Structure 1
Amino acid sequence: MLPGSDVPVERWMHAVAEGGQGHYSRARAELATLTRSSAADAVVSLAWSTQASFLRQLGWHSVAAGFDGKALALVGMEYESGGEDLLVREAQCDALTGLAADALGCGRLALGWRLLDRCGVHLSRGAEGEMWRQRVRCHWVSAELSLAGADFAAAQRHADIAAEISDAAGSVRHRIKSDLLRSASMTGKADSDSAARLATDVLDRCDQYGLIPLKWAAAMLLSGVSGDSGAETVRLECEALIRARGGRFRN
């Protein structure tokens, strides 16, 4: 178990880390405490957005949209120069990017792109180096929307940029997910060997760092690309572990 904190924003970060390892019950409990607390609106908004991201990971995109909507309602979506602190703008971007991912999962690609455009307004007006995590997430969802539209070249561009930003920020988890999307973008090539090699590497790194939800996704991708029965076994093992830790997949 990761060490806790009494500082609201640190409690939110703790929940994010727990969720990254698939400890959904513990993460949800932490986030629920924040959403019922007197913490700043931006922190509560981040907690709602994170709840939504856990739902999306397990296939509950339409339910997640309600949580992301709550997150956005707390902080609004308009950019006001000089009128917001950084945490508010980060929360706005998280909610907008989350809603874009929800729209993607519900088959509303055009809406997803419009929401990312709105998020881009906040990102473009921020200082250089600010909001690296929000920039990565925006590129992730851009890559996913591009994949859904069968634009594999655009998907790879966005995934590559996300990987570069993650590297510069020193975030292992963000780099691994970026590489997972890079692998997915390579599936549009006639030769799937490069996609399979990178997916295998992602799977190994997920195992090294205990990133069970990403390991599940990497195993599913590798199984689909290569037909590797071993990857399918890993996928099923990850699903069982995620359920044991409080995750509930949408059937």
Structure 2
Amino acid sequence: MTSGTRPAGWSTWWRAGGHNEPVPAREAVLRRAAFGDAPALGARELARAATARCRWLAAVVLGGQGRYAAATTFLEPLIRGRDPLHASLAAGTLASHRRQLGGHAAALPLDAAALARATAAGGPADDDGADPAGALADALLGLAADNLALGRLGVARRLLARAAEVPAGWRTRVRAGWIGAELALACGAAADAVPFAEEAARVARERGAARHSVKSGLVLAAALAATGEPGARERAAGLVATARAATAAHGLGSLGWPAAVLSAELAAAGSAAARRHRAAVTRELHALLPAADPEGRRLARQSAWVPI
């Protein structure tokens, strides 16, 4: 079938599982927002998500924008649903939103539920990891991130190794790079963190994934800055400046305040620039938290990770 004979209402062909499978136009738009170059999708298009796949994708987009309450309204019914694949993906996504607000302990049972549902999931392979292998890898990486933040470094390392054994796709490689870098930093090995972050940034960039590229840039900046080398810190400052511009351009509220935190840490201690960046952190968080659900706001206010 050629492009001129596609069924009405379907968009371009999507490569998944080694076959050309048609993807509905709305799903293609949501995929581009969730995993591509157009994350600033508007509320009207997001609200029209009808299928389980589209509701999950809409929640991914909303989380990237920092609109956690709206994302939760999509995710909670999917988590309770009978479809194990989308239940797993949804639980892992809600867990990631909890982590973004500093709620690592609250994310842990969600990631455990995602892992349990992933083991029962079925379905064809998917280019963006919306498949059983991707759900399994997401759950393992989520659990690794939870345990890392809770100081259980050995557990995090074992979970990261298990995720590496799953034949998943580009999202898994990017997320594994983030966690590998963060684990190395937690172990005081900044030089070891840099290659993990560089690989995540490379994969995200080659994929054209705007949100993943921004976060990869921030992880790489943190790794470079931690080395203490003047040239590395200068490169880190450039990466953070680029990331902050991208968060504003793409409406990525979830990444705006962490980028501002890094800017403050890279500025000279006590300088006017450091004060300006810390004021930006406060502004970003005060803009973000009203869009979170009550549990998300509670976690953020109680978290040592969120400088409210």
Query: More strand by proportion, 1 or 2?
Result: 2
Identity of aligned pairs, percent? Answer: 34
Which consecutive residues of structure 1, in runs of 5 or more, have no partner in the other structure? Answer: 78-82
* Aligned residues of 1:9 and 1:43 also touching (Cα < 8 A): yes
TM-score (norm 2): 0.74
Structure 1 CA distance for aligned equivalents of residues 218 and 234 of structure 2: 14
Structure 1 CA distance for aligned equivalents of residues 54 and 251 of structure 2: 21
**1:59 match: secondary structure:** coil
Which of 281, 285, 298 is the equivalent residue of 1:235?
A: 281
Deviation at 1:31, TM superposition (A): 0.3
Q: Which residue of 2 aligns with 1:65?
A: 108
Structure 1 CA distance for aligned equivalents of residues 238 and 175 of structure 2: 24
Q: Which residue of 2 aligns with 1:45?
A: 88
Which of 197, 214, 217 is the equivalent residue of 2:255?
A: 214
Pair 1:164-2:210 in alignment: no
Deviation at 1:199, TM superposition (A): 1.2
Deviation at 1:36, TM superposition (A): 2.5
Bigger Cα displacement from structure 2, 227-236 vs 161-170: 227-236
Deviations along 1:141-168, whole A, 9 cap, x unmatched?
1111111112112211011111111112
**1:122 match: secondary structure:** coil
Q: How many residues align?
A: 239
* Aligned residues of 1:213 and 1:238 also touching (Cα < 8 A): no
Deviation at 1:85, TM superposition (A): 4.1
Pair 1:173-2:173 in alignment: no
Code of the residue aligned with 2:229 in structure 1: it is A
Code of the residue aligned with 2:175 in structure 1: it is R
Structure 1 runs, 4 residues or longer, greater than 6 Å off: none
Deviation at 1:116, TM superposition (A): 0.7
- Which has the larger Rg? 2
Which of 222, 236, 252 is the equivalent residue of 1:184?
A: 222
Deviations along 1:9-36, whole A, 9 cap, x unmatched?
1210110000000000000111012122
Code of the residue aligned with 1:74 in structure 2: it is R
TM-score (norm 1): 0.90
* Aligned residues of 1:16 and 1:27 also touching (Cα < 8 A): yes
Please list, as runs of the form range in 1=range in 2, the aligned pairs for 1:1-251 lying within 5 A after superposition: 1=43, 2-3=45-46, 4-38=48-82, 40-76=83-119, 85-86=124-125, 87-123=131-167, 131-187=169-225, 188-191=227-230, 192-226=233-267, 227=269, 228-246=274-292, 247-248=296-297, 249=300, 250-251=302-303
Deviation at 1:6, TM superposition (A): 1.2
Which consecutive residues of structure 2, in runs of 5 or more, have no partner in the other structure? Answer: 1-42, 126-130, 304-308
Q: Which residue of 2 aligns with 1:80?
A: none
